[in-house]
Structure 1
Amino acid sequence: MSSAELKSLLADCAPDMLLAVDPTDLEIRAANLVALEQLGYKESELIGRSILSVDCGLADVMFWEELRNGGKASCEGMEGIVQRADGTLLAVTKSVHERHGWLVLCMRDVSAAKHRNNEVAQLTARLRATLDATFDGILVLATDGSIVNMNARFAEMWQLPDALILARDDTQLFAFMAAQAQDAVAYRERLEEIHPYDEADSFDVLELSGERVFERKSRPAMQGKQITGRVYCFTDASARHAAERELVAARDEAQAASRAKSEFLTLVSHEVRTPLNGVLGMAELLQSTGLGSEQKHYLAAIRSSGETLLGMISDILDYTNLDCGRVQLDQSIFEPRDVVEELREKFTARATEKRLSFRVEIAPEVPAAVCGDRRRFTQILTKLLDNAIKFTDRGSVEFCLKVAERADKRVHIECQVRDTGIGVAGDRLPKLFQPFVTADNSLTRRHTGTGMGLALCRLLCAHMGGDIAVDSAAGAGSTFHCRLPFDLPDPATTRVSGAVSNTVPVAGASRPALIVEPDTARRELIVAALASIGGFQVRVAADALECLEISSQDPQSLIFIASSMHGLDGNGTARALRAAGCRAHIICTGDDAEGAHAAAVTAGADDFLAVPLTGRAVRCAVSRWQNCDSAACA
């Protein structure tokens, strides 16, 4: 066969490397251009060279030697290594065929493919290592729901036996998993809802036996835009869910303890304050009898100590309720000037006892009526004035009420209490509004107190949407600034709580009054107060039923009802009286709890008096009903 024919033959088989080898001496007789280019030889260098210098792998050499010795003259797709002209090696696949007495060697460069295969193998190994090192269990399903892959963590989490994994029986494996669910039916139904070909992600929580909890997330496996299956990720959330259950249990336990503490404090305070109120009430009645100067002195000490103790109990309870968020503000219309006048009367006597100048100023722009919590407003001002007089031994105490800001339907009232007392050192100012902190905290302090007053003021101001601050220096007195927001009532509908009655008494007439009060001390105090006013025919009812019976037979002008009674309580009694058409002026008495005043008014009462009752408070309540001059409260 001529050289031209050989070249033509080789060219017909391109693009692979083609060599024609003489079977007798294994020398290369012809090569195509691809062979020359990839092997790096010139044609003159390659022609006549032994094939063993090119196809140099040990197996290759043995193969060619076998051919020269008359062995089988063909092979197909055998892997081998050839040496290029520069000495580098090239991985190839080769085929050898006998054609017209020549050995035709066809070789294809597979080094790039081998490199890619190696990369794929390395990537696969890294992916497998990553999956096996992942803390979550991974399960991959095909679109037909069959298992494609899983990692070791998945098998560990689901406690899959090796035999079950090796069996590659998907049905048995899924059944084994479902058997571990607390609700196997719901588990299977949920699994069927999440089809492998769905595009949406999914998340659910699996509750398994042994208090195990798995969080299951899944999303579709994509190849381009085509869904090829679904990947599930299982996270063992047992520890976290157990911790959450413990936290919930601890929270519930803490809330139960808080409720128990609150109920205990309420019970204890009621049980302590009830007899204490009786002591103070009887002391007030005793004061109006003919006592000697020494007896009056002792009685004053009893009242002072009792009021101090009662104030401490109330402060601690109020602070506890405020701190726990169990306080609801009352929204009723009241007159700020009335509050200030009551405080002026109360603290003028105390200031006079200490020979202090006491001045009260109300700015003319202060509105006549505002809507808010009168009780809390009074409580804050009382605490500030009480502290000012307590810590001032000489000089003066000044109280100013003015408007800080005003809008169409809202006003911010600023209260200033200035004294020339002991003041507060700079290092103690940041802690002054904390509980149980006093301006004088030394063991030899001369001023008593629990340190709850200012802490209570801070909480009350914050709860009402206001703020409180102080300017002070040791030995230079103090100025407290309290700013509180109030709504402005509609002038056309303004009605001050307790100022309007269901009946209008006739001056000089004898009016029937009924008292429903199981506490003996409070009952006698009310009787004495009405007697001091005069003009009342007083009857006493043992309980709500007797009250309703008397009222139906003998219409009353004035009825005092205790909030706490056996059977029907005070609010229930007020509702029953109004339902029966009673038009008497009803005054409820009871603990100064949050919402008690509003609840009583809602039930049908016209006024509410908080215990401990005083004769003055009863007389003022009757005075409000009678719409008399404030001198009647004296």
Structure 2
Amino acid sequence: MNSLLTNILSVCRIEYLIIDQNLKVLEISLGINHFANIADEVKQGEDVRIAFPELEGLEDIFDAIRQGEEDKFELKGIMRSQDPASPLYIDIRITKNIQENYYSHPFIILVEDSTERMVLEQSLFQGANEANLLLRNLKASKQYIDQIVTSMADALLVTTLSGKIKKLNPAAQMLLEYDETELIGQPIAKIIREVNSYKLEIGNIESIDISQNQSINPLAQEIETVCYTKSSKTIPVAFSCSIVKTEIDHFQGYVYILRDMTERKQAELAKQEFLAMISHEVRTPIASVIGMASLLLDSGLTTHQKDFVEIIYSSGNSLLKIINDFLDFSKIQSGNLELEEEPFILQSCIHEAFYLLTPEAREKGLKLTFLDTLKFPTTIVGDITRLRQVLINLLSNAIKFTETGNIEVSVIIHKNAANTNEIQFSVKDTGIGIPRDRAERLFKAFSQVNSSITRQYGGTGLGLAICKQLCELMGGRIWVESELNAGSTFYFTIAASVLPQESAGAQVLAPVQELQVKNSENNCDYRTSDLLKLRILLTEDNKVNQKIALKQLQSLGYSADVANNGKEALDLLEKIPYDLILMDCQMPVLDGLETTKEIHRWQESKFVSGRRPVVIAMTANAMKQDQQMCLDAGMDDYLSKPVMKEKLAATLEHWASVILRVEEISAKEETVFTKDVGLVDFPIDWERLHQLSENNPEFELELLQIFVEDIQSRLEVIKIAIADHDYEQLTLQTHQIKGASANIGATAMHLAAEKLEQLVYNQEPRGGAKLVSELEEFVKRIQEFLVCKDTTDVTNN
């Protein structure tokens, strides 16, 4: 090949071979060996197929080219190097030799480096495959997520950041009764009207930075509320909200998950109704048995008869304790048990538990000891009732399982770095002990060490389970150390604040000392004869309960009239000036709750005494919500049946002293209150206000002034909200007025606000303006009284 052509091929990075018709190598370029299958194998005179085995089997192709039947033949993308770091690909072209010696040199083979092209093609092919695979994965992922969302039992709604609905699943359509097209683009507030009230919870998750970890999906806590369907039904739901943040604005927003709570609420209601039924229907006859037995014990029985009655009395109390255990356990399990946070003297709580169980211990010849290592009376803040319940349970068990010896209680206070202290109690006995492998069974519900325990000692197996849960609710724990036949020591802790001695004296010790002074014979504020003049009406439909209550009252020195239902009670109230009503809740004709509400609706002038009597509930319903229902209905106090004589005596003494104080204060202030302002239908329950202020007239006036200013400003907001149809603001303001009115004793205002709140809840505008006018009139009359009172004070000064 001439030098010019050789140079041109070299510049184009093409090497060549000239071969004869027998495929023998006649001439080669300098770099051809770089492309050979085996280096340095391309030699003149050798068969070209040795260095380029790809040409094997192409003899027919060579003949076709030599005879002019084919112009050329190409082999592309032949790999020479498999090293990924330095790959090598070649293209082989076979064509005629165009030089003069064609007959002796018929073929020329051109070999070109095609590495760059092949690598690029492979990259493109691989990229296309990867893109196709990614697309398939995305489609599969979307299908997978869509199937999950579609199969969800809970309703799911996706909104934009502004709250517009952009997607919902079939469960949401079924729950809300809307088609998807009807909700797309609508605000989420159409479904959950109070959603703006939860902006605080939702706002907390908006501030979370997920840029560092895209797997974070911040979720607001589950909130119980209601949602509204297309047919205007209100459905209780629990909803949670999760924020979606991405780099693309279109894919940002919120995900709401709504869980229909209807069945759960119905189940909870059914459970509460069942427990209420158990509480009332079972406790009522038990109360009668215990009450009658206690009366018989004071009736001069023979020794033989007294033994029988004591068995009835103790068995009734045991049965009542079992029922109370079940009710307590149910309340704890359902999360309805609320702990009080009040200051009390720790030693007093322990002494009260000892006082209750000393007769039982004395009967078995056991010694109860309290090792008081605390130098001074220690005041803590907590729930004295529940702490005493744990102590009584442990002491009662210790007495039950100890035949001889003693029972010892001690307490240690550990100071914590935080504001609370860990208070550790121990109850040590010399009883039968517990095998180590059975100790853990003690704190499980319905479980005892072994079945023989139930047969020999009785019990439900709930006592220690309740103690465990109560301790945990009070921020502590409970455990036991025991040795079989050598006694047991139960330890438990609670977390509580310990008040400094100075503040403790002001908050707790002073009232205790005051009570002691009042109860002493020489320093009683009110004579016993005055207290016993209390005019009492017993409203009770059960004849047995009537007899028990009347007998207890008689033994305490009181007398009472009887009404068999609420209607009879109201009839008697119009004729007789009763000071106090002992009110049963469940009665025929008119129950105790409705009777009490009707008493509150009466104007003061309707009562013979000119003021409302104190109403005390006496009911076998022992659930927390039952007590709250009584207080919500307007009852002043609550006694749970069976009512022990001591508890009844203390309650009557307390309210008798309150009534006497109110009468004295009313007599002193009568001329001031009635001189310039007609208070026949004044909208404030003075008795309630006197109790609230502890008979401090100056504080009462200050309280009324604050009340008037607060309600006036809220009424102005309500007027604006009515004009704007702002139901969220109306709900807030009417609820606040209702609560403030109830607290201060503005009963009529409370009822008006309650009606207004109901109208707002139903979004019913009719009648709202009239109720607002009534509230304004009430406030105006209180304001007139305050002005008149100020004028009177100035004149007197």
What TM-score results when the alignment is normalised by the length of structure 1?
Answer: 0.65
1:429 to 2:439 alignment: yes
Aligned to 1:61: 59
Measured after TM superposition, the shift of residue 184 of structure 1 is: 9.2
Aligned to 1:328: 338
Query: Residues 26 and 336 (structure 1 numbering): CA distance in 2 closer, same or farther, change over 3 Å?
Result: closer
1:289 to 2:299 alignment: yes
Distance in 2, Cα, partners of 1:463 & 1:416: 18
Contact (CA 8 Å) 2:565, 2:587: kept in 1 or not?
yes
Distance in 1, Cα, partners of 2:420 & 2:432: 36
Contact (CA 8 Å) 2:570, 2:595: kept in 1 or not?
no
SS in 2 for 1:384: helix
The more displaced of 460-469 and 327-336 is: 327-336
Distance in 2, Cα, partners of 1:41 & 1:66: 30
Q: Which has the higher helix share?
A: 2
Q: 2:649 aligns with which of 619, 624, 628?
A: 619
Measured after TM superposition, the shift of residue 284 of structure 1 is: 1.6
Work out the percentage of aligned pairs sharing the same amino acid: 26
Contact (CA 8 Å) 1:414, 1:483: kept in 2 or not?
yes
1:587 to 2:610 alignment: no
Distance in 1, Cα, partners of 2:543 & 2:374: 45
SS in 2 for 1:109: strand
Q: Please show how residues 129-528 of structure 1 align to structure 2 within 5 Å.
A: 138=137, 260=270, 263-332=273-342, 336=346, 339-360=349-370, 367=377, 370-400=380-410, 403=413, 405=415, 412-438=422-448, 441-442=451-452, 446-487=456-497, 507-509=528-530, 510-528=533-551
Gaps of 5+ in 1: 84-88, 141-149, 158-179, 190-200, 203-216, 221-226, 228-243, 629-634
Query: Residues 108 and 434 (structure 1 numbering): CA distance in 2 closer, same or farther, change over 3 Å?
Result: same
Distance in 2, Cα, partners of 1:292 & 1:553: 44
Aligned to 1:33: 30
Aligned AA for 1:105? I
How far does the alpha carbon of each residue in 1:393-444 deviate from its partner, in whole angstroms, 9 at most, with x for none? Answer: 2223344566555899756554443333223233332322223444574379
SS in 2 for 1:466: coil
Contact (CA 8 Å) 1:419, 1:477: kept in 2 or not?
yes
1:96 to 2:126 alignment: no
Q: Which has the higher strand share?
A: 1
Aligned AA for 2:452? S
Contact (CA 8 Å) 2:35, 2:90: kept in 1 or not?
no
How far does the alpha carbon of each residue in 1:133-187 deviate from its partner, in whole angstroms, 9 at most, with x for none? Answer: x9x95467xxxxxxxxx99x99xx9xxxxxxxxxxxxxxxxxxxxxx99989799
SS in 2 for 1:525: helix
Distance in 1, Cα, partners of 2:641 & 2:635: 16
Contact (CA 8 Å) 2:18, 2:97: kept in 1 or not?
no
Aligned AA for 1:508? S
Contact (CA 8 Å) 2:61, 2:73: kept in 1 or not?
no
Query: Residues 43 and 289 (structure 1 numbering): CA distance in 2 closer, same or farther, change over 3 Å?
Result: closer
Distance in 2, Cα, partners of 1:551 & 1:589: 18
Distance in 1, Cα, partners of 2:348 & 2:289: 28
Query: Residues 580 and 615 (structure 1 numbering): CA distance in 2 closer, same or farther, change over 3 Å?
Result: farther
How far does the alpha carbon of each residue in 1:336-389 deviate from its partner, in whole angstroms, 9 at most, with x for none? Answer: 555445444432222232233334565665657654333322322221222222
SS in 2 for 1:511: coil
Query: Residues 94 and 547 (structure 1 numbering): CA distance in 2 closer, same or farther, change over 3 Å?
Result: same
Measured after TM superposition, the shift of residue 456 of structure 1 is: 2.0
Q: 1:538 aligns with which of 557, 560, 565?
A: 560
How far does the alpha carbon of each residue in 1:102-139 deviate from its partner, in whole angstroms, 9 at most, with x for none? Answer: 668361336757975997799699979x96xx9x9546
Distance in 2, Cα, partners of 1:137 & 1:44: 49
Contact (CA 8 Å) 1:513, 1:537: kept in 2 or not?
yes
How far does the alpha carbon of each residue in 1:227-254 deviate from its partner, in whole angstroms, 9 at most, with x for none? Answer: 9xxxxxxxxxxxxxxxx99xx99x9878
What TM-score results when the alignment is normalised by the length of structure 2?
Answer: 0.53
How far does the alpha carbon of each residue in 1:64-117 deviate from its partner, in whole angstroms, 9 at most, with x for none? Answer: 434555x3584375669999xxxxx99633153664646683613367579759
The more displaced of 335-344 and 460-469 is: 335-344
1:75 to 2:72 alignment: yes
Measured after TM superposition, the shift of residue 275 of structure 1 is: 1.0
Measured after TM superposition, the shift of residue 303 of structure 1 is: 0.9
Distance in 2, Cα, partners of 1:386 & 1:609: 24
1:8 to 2:4 alignment: yes
Aligned to 1:207: none
Q: Which has the larger radius of gyration?
A: 1
SS in 1 for 2:407: strand
How far does the alpha carbon of each residue in 1:509-562 deviate from its partner, in whole angstroms, 9 at most, with x for none? Answer: 32212223333333333322222222x452333444554565566544333223
Query: Residues 74 and 346 (structure 1 numbering): CA distance in 2 closer, same or farther, change over 3 Å?
Result: closer
How far does the alpha carbon of each residue in 1:180-238 deviate from its partner, in whole angstroms, 9 at most, with x for none? Answer: 9998979999xxxxxxxxxxx99xxxxxxxxxxxxxx9x99xxxxxx9xxxxxxxxxxx
SS in 1 for 2:624: coil
Measured after TM superposition, the shift of residue 472 of structure 1 is: 2.7
Measured after TM superposition, the shift of residue 391 of structure 1 is: 1.9
RMSD between aligned residues: 5.4
Q: Which protein, 1 or 2, shows the higher relative CO under an 8 Å CA cutoff with sep ≥ 6?
A: 1
SS in 1 for 2:452: coil
Aligned to 1:175: none
Query: Residues 267 and 388 (structure 1 numbering): CA distance in 2 closer, same or farther, change over 3 Å?
Result: same
Aligned to 2:681: none
Contact (CA 8 Å) 2:596, 2:615: kept in 1 or not?
no
The more displaced of 91-100 and 471-480 is: 91-100
Aligned AA for 1:587? I
Contact (CA 8 Å) 2:77, 2:118: kept in 1 or not?
no
Aligned pair count reads: 525
Query: Residues 110 and 297 (structure 1 numbering): CA distance in 2 closer, same or farther, change over 3 Å?
Result: same
Query: Residues 437 and 64 (structure 1 numbering): CA distance in 2 closer, same or farther, change over 3 Å?
Result: closer
Contact (CA 8 Å) 1:471, 1:478: kept in 2 or not?
yes
Distance in 2, Cα, partners of 1:43 & 1:614: 118
Distance in 1, Cα, partners of 2:603 & 2:328: 37
Distance in 2, Cα, partners of 1:117 & 1:406: 71
Gaps of 5+ in 2: 81-87, 148-169, 174-178, 186-213, 216-243, 249-256, 519-524, 605-610, 659-797
